[in-house]
Structure formats: structure tokens, C-alpha cells
Amino acid sequence: MRQVSAGGVAKAGPPVTQELPAPRGHGRRIKYSGRPMMEGATPALYADRMGNITKTALVTGGNKGIGLAVVRQLAAQGYTTWLGSRDEARGQAAASALAEAGDVRFVALDVTDDASVAAAAAQIGAQTSSLDLLVNNAGIYLAAGDGQPSAVQFDTLRATYDVNVFGPLRVTRAFLPLLRATSNARIVMVGSGLGSLALQSDPSNGFSRWPAFAYSSSKTALNALTVGLANELRGEGIAVTVVNPGFVATDLNGNTGTLTTDEGARMVMRAVQVPLSGSGSFVNDDGTFPW
């Protein structure tokens, strides 16, 4: 455990045994043997009624669809989970609706806005000294992005990439200090089968005839980002994977998908379990997915 303040991670002090206040909703205190917290800092430890330490997670785009289902499943597994949403009203409502599932906390987070991402990192950093899991789920599909590469407007491409590619990179950079402050941290990117170059380049595969150039190319770029981050962070014990959740019925596709959000979320949860040796992989329900 490292010392922390509201501003982030500080240098570690000598090991001590100290008594920490119990987490919200628990009427007991827990003893922690480790390095001390700086004065005024919030403990990064969360304990259930038996005193078991739980993990922490952030899910972007967590107010609906796959993201909401992932938050629900993480909470059910005992994670203290921050539900990130750019829409404050919807995010607050979603977090409140999941109160019975576990410790779910709302954080305002627009993945396209540097100030919003920085504020979210500061807010979460004031409540915990580390983050075990980051799920970059927020994504966008614009109908104007359908078409051939020679026809799709640059404004549409920029808007799509800002959410689907630069958003995950922006959020990951902001939360790396918290991810680096724990052991075996995980970063999961929610990708798409449409991002597979192997399938796009196969004339016999329907993806090669799918006209969604802006979306599919952004998900291909997300795959490249995943590999790049995996190569960068593997030596630090942080695994980075991208998951194809399948054709899930969400707002993104007009709820025409063949899978439920819970089924899609279960695939994301499987990606969380990928070992460090599998970092940089593209996974789905059947195992690995072709790049």
C-alpha cells in the first residue's frame, strides 16, 4: 500500500499497523498492517462485513447497455465500482438503481473531455489509492459514418475516433497512476468483431461487406491501442485486453442485437480474468478472436 493524498499517490512510508474506519454502511473498524496513509487521505481499503478486502473498478459509459451490466456484475462480485457517465442525471439514477447490488458510485466522466477525465481521476483518487480494473466501455456509432472510405466525412470520423479511440487512451493515461499503485491491475477495452482486419479482408465474411467504415476502423484502431498498451505495461504487471462482446442489443444498434447486455457483460468479465501472459489478446466467448 502506498501513501496517498487527495492529489494522488505519494511516497510510501515505513510499514505500520493502524486501525482504519470501516467502509460506508459497516459499523466496525478494520486493522491494516502496511504502510501508513498521509494525514487527511481516504483509505484505499474496502471491507465487507467479514473484513475481507475488496477490489476497485471503473467502468466508462456505465449508465446503460453493456456498461451498466458490467457494473452490476462487478458489484455482485464485491468490487467497489465507479460508474462513469457523461450524463449526470442518468448516471446518478443508474448508480442509485444498483445500490442493492453492491458498492456502486457515480462519477461524471466524458471520455472526450480532458477536464472531465482529469476531474474524475481526482475524485476517484481522493477515495482510493489504487484501481484494480479499468473497463473502457464508452463507445459511439454514428449513422453518418456508414459508407465507403472515400465518402465518409472527416467530421464524422473525428467524432467517432474521439470517443472510440482517443477516449480510451485519454482515460487510461489519467488513471495509470492508480492502476500502477496496485498489483495485477487489468485494463479491458470493449471492442467489436467489426474491428477485425482478418474478417474485414475475407470476401466470404459478411463483415467485409458491412458499410460502417467510421465505426469499424475506429475499433481496429482500438485493437492497435490495446496491443501498444499491453507491450508498454506488461513489465509492470498490468494486463490489457480487448473483448468482442458479440452482437448485443443496445442503443448503439437500435436494440437489434441477438445477445442480451448481461450476456455481453459476461464476455467482458471473462476478459478481466485473462492472465498477464495473455495481455494484448483479442478475446470473445470462444477464446481468442482473429485480429
Q: Enumerate the active-site residues.
A: 215, 219
Which residue is it, cell 471473462?
Answer: 270
Residues in a beta bridge with 243: 190, 283
* Residue among 89, 58, 65, 57 nearest 140 (CA): 65
Q: Which amino acid is at 246?
A: G
Cβ neighbours of residue 259 closer than 8 Å, sequence gap 6 or more: 245, 246, 247, 248, 249
What is the Cα–Cα distance from 192 to 222, expressed in whole angstroms? 9
Q: Is 71 left (phi over 0), alpha (psi -120 to 50) or beta?
A: alpha
Q: Contact 117/131 with Cβ under 8 angstroms? A: no
Other beta carbons less than 10 A from residue 4's beta carbon: 26
Cβ neighbours of residue 204 closer than 8 Å, sequence gap 6 or more: none
Q: Is 49 exposed, middle or buried (0-12, 13-18, 19+ CB in 10 A)?
A: exposed
| 291: Cα separation from own chain's centroid | 21
What is the Cα–Cα distance from 72 to 91, expressed in whole angstroms? 13
